Amino acid sequence: MMVISSRSLQLKDFRLIQSIHETGQLGLAAEQMAMSQPAASRMLASIERLVGGPVFLRRPKGMTPTPVGETLIRNGHNLLNGLDQTLREISSVSEGLAGTARVGSVTDGSVAFVVPAIQELKKTATGADIHVDVAPSDVLVEGLFRGEYDFVLSRIPPKYDKRQLEVRHGRHEEICFMARAGHPLAQAPVAPLAGLASCEWVIQAPHTPLRQAVEAVFVSAGVELPDDIVNTTSMLVMVAYLASSDALAPIPRQVADLFVASGLAGGLTTLEPEEKILVSPYFLITRRNVMMSAVATRLRDLVHAAMNRSPG
C-alpha cells in the first residue's frame, strides 16, 4: 500500500489540479496559472508519480478526472477554499472589517430568521461581509460539504452522513396560497381544497418537499390534484404570473406575509386552505470540527436564538 506524506503535495499542485478540472485543458490551466505548458506538464507528471497513478484521462474533448483525481479535486477544493477564507479574513482585520460569513437557506428560513439575524448583527458589525444564497436543500448541503457555506438552514438529503453534521432546532414551513387580490377565491375566509385544485397553479417541481407536502394533503383528503400547472423555482416568475392571471401558488406563510404586508408585490393576497399544510422540517446545520470566523459564529448564534424563540 502506497503511503503519501502530507508534505508531498503542495498548494500549487492542488491549484493546478483545480485549473485543469475547470478548463479541461492543460494548456488553458497553465495559462490560468501564469506558467508554461511544459512546466505544467512536468508538475502534473510529478503529482501522478506521488499518488501512484493518473489524475486525469486525456480524451479528444478534454481531460477528465480519474477516481484519484476526483478525490484530489474534492479535497483540494475544500483546502483552497479554507486558505482563501483565511487570507480574506486577515485582509478584513487589517482593513478594520469584521470578517466574512457565508449562509445558505431554504426560502422560509431566509425570510424568517436569516434576514432579521443579519440586521441585528449589522447594528454593531457594520463592516461584516455577509453572503446569503437561497436554494434547494440538496444544493445547500452539497455546498456546505464543499466548504462554500459556514452554515445552512436546510433539510438533510438521505445520501449524506449525518454523523459529520451538527444539527440544531428544526422548523416546519406552514403553507398558504397566494393569488392576485381580485382572484375569485380571494374573499372566502377559507378556500376549499376542491376549489384550489380546480385553479391553475404556479409551483415548485414534483420532487421538492413543498410540492410533496401540498400533494399529500390533497391526496389524503381525496381531492384530485390540479392538472394545469406551471413549474418554476423562480420567485420573480411566480409573482409576475400571479399578478396577471387567476393562477395561485402554494408558498411558505412567512414569505407570503412579507409580499402581501409590505406591498413588495402589489395586488396580491393570501388564501387559507381548509387543511393545514406543513412541509417537512428544515434545520440549522454546520459541519462538525470545522472552524468558522467570529462573525459567522455570531450570525449563526443569532439565527439559532431566533429559531428557539419562535414557535413551530
Segments of 139-276 assigned E as strands: 151-154, 165-180, 201-203, 229-231, 249-252, 268-271
Segments of 127-276 assigned E as strands: 129-134, 151-154, 165-180, 201-203, 229-231, 249-252, 268-271
Beta-bridged to residue 170, according to DSSP, are: 283
Q: What pLDDT does residue 83 have?
A: 78
Is pLDDT above 60 for 79? yes
Is pLDDT above 60 for 139? yes
Model-level pTM?
Answer: 0.63
Q: What pLDDT does residue 1 have?
A: 42
pLDDT digits (tens, 9 = 90+) for 154-181: 998 888 778 889 998 788 888 999 999 8
Is pLDDT above 50 for 94? no
CB 286 within 8 Å of CB 150? yes
Q: Which domains does the chain have, with CATH numbers?
A: 11-84 (1.10.10.10), 97-171+281-309 (3.40.190.10), 173-279 (3.40.190.290)
Share of the chain above pLDDT 70, in %: 92
Is pLDDT above 70 for 201? yes
pLDDT digits (tens, 9 = 90+) for 12-45: 888 898 899 989 898 898 998 899 999 989 999 9
Question: Strand 100-105 and strand 277-287: pairing?
Answer: unpaired
Is pLDDT above 60 for 4? no
Q: How confident is the model at residue 91 (pLDDT cuts 50, 70, 90)?
A: low
Q: What pLDDT does residue 7 have?
A: 55
pLDDT (average), residues 114-135: 88
> Considering only 29-33, 83-87, 94-98, 194-198, which range has the smallest mean pLDDT?
94-98
CB 259 within 8 Å of CB 210? no
Is pLDDT above 60 for 204? yes
pLDDT (average), residues 109-127: 88
